[in-house]
Amino acid sequence: MSDEEGKSPPLGRTPPRAILFGCAGERLSAAERRLFAQSDPLGFVLFRRNCREPDQVRALVAEMRGCVGRADAPVLIDQEGGRVARLRPPHWRTYPAPAQLAALPDGEAEEAIRLGARLIADDLAALGVTVDAAPVLDLPIAGADAVIGDRAYGGGPARVARLGRAMCEGLLQGGVLPVVKHVPGHGRARVDSHHECPVVDASADELAATDFEAFRLLADMPWAMTAHVVYSAFDSEPATMSRRVIDHIIRGQIGFGGVLVSDDIGMGALSGRLDERVESALDAGCDLALHCSGVLDEMKAIAETARPISEETASRLARGETMRLAARRDFDRGAAEARFDALVGAVAER
């Protein structure tokens, strides 16, 4: 990832640590700058608290990258559309929830989702943000917790994969890496993993034919995010912490070969100290751990133990960067917005 060809860091350079950190506010504190410079996280994540207006976000992103001395350090954000949107009016447009766009007939749904993603990518690229934690490929069932809800496309795995691919393509064409989530599937969770650990008791065969299938059909995507969900058919540990789930299901049965990042290791679904959670996630096979709170003392504790990225992770990151650069396409924003608004208007009329 050290140059435009997406190559691995040069020999002799210490690899960055396998962690993505958030920060507390709209600019870095002196303590955050020192910590990031000393610990060298691979990259960063932005939340609503960090995003006031475009110039401020651009300056924050540049400051983050300046701390680690890597102009290509990944900066991630959750900009799905609907209720999960870190960038909001008046400086950024509102995008419908994925389920709203999926309500269109197939061809129009794919077009609207691809156009919306391309517009989101244009918003992000203008800020220097290179990774969007979307699309959601989860398949909610009746009785599931509302944490996924309208963030999902709905329907069977084949349709979800088609719509998810449209979003991935739109993001990539705008120079932004998509992150398919929450692998291998959060849709059956009956509790919110932000607060509790969901346990899914569906059989291995049922999961393979439904939840896992949507991810299998998009296994060629550059990044994926794990689910903090226990699948009792395979393990008693959440997928993020399960070597069996990551090796045999995510890497094996699903066939995902890209960068695997944990969901936020600060979420209530996980137990133990935060540094232990990071170690467990990386031991299980995650390439990167994600820490979102921006709490300085938490980041300090993690930074003391977080390991450098592996050669395999560096190679996966490089492949993703090559894909991002190769997929970029010019577009006419005005024309794209006009067509997108026409399609969104059709949703509202239904």
> Catalytic positions, please?
194, 263
Nearest to 336 by CA among 112, 152, 180: 112
Question: If DSSP states are collapsed to H, E and C, what string results for 287-304?
Answer: CEEEECCCCHHHHHHHHC
Q: What's the token pair of residue 19?
A: 């962690």
- Using only the alpha carbons of the chain, give its radius of gyration: 19
Q: Is 123 helix (H, G, I), strand (E, B) or coil?
A: helix
Place of tokens 């610990």: 39
Are the beta carbons of 179 and 223 closer than 8 angstroms? yes
Nearest to 173 by CA among 331, 321, 316, 317: 331
Dihedral angle, C-alpha 165, 166, 169, 175, nearest 10 °: -120
Q: Is 199 helix (H, G, I), strand (E, B) or coil?
A: strand
Q: What's the token pair of residue 297?
A: 């003392």
* Other CB atoms within 10 A of residue 72 CB: 15
List the beta strands (DSSP E) in 33-176.
Answer: 41-46, 75-77, 79-81, 84-85, 131-132
Determine if the peptide bond prior to 90 is cis (ω within 30°).
yes
* Other CB atoms within 10 A of residue 279 CB: 18
Spatial CB neighbours of 78, under 8 Å, sequence gap ≥ 6: 47, 84, 85, 86, 132, 133, 134
Are the beta carbons of 77 and 124 closer than 8 angstroms? yes
Place of tokens 């303590």: 31
Distance in angstroms (rounded) separating the CA atoms of residues 75 and 176: 10
CA triple 155-238-166, angle to 5 deg: 30
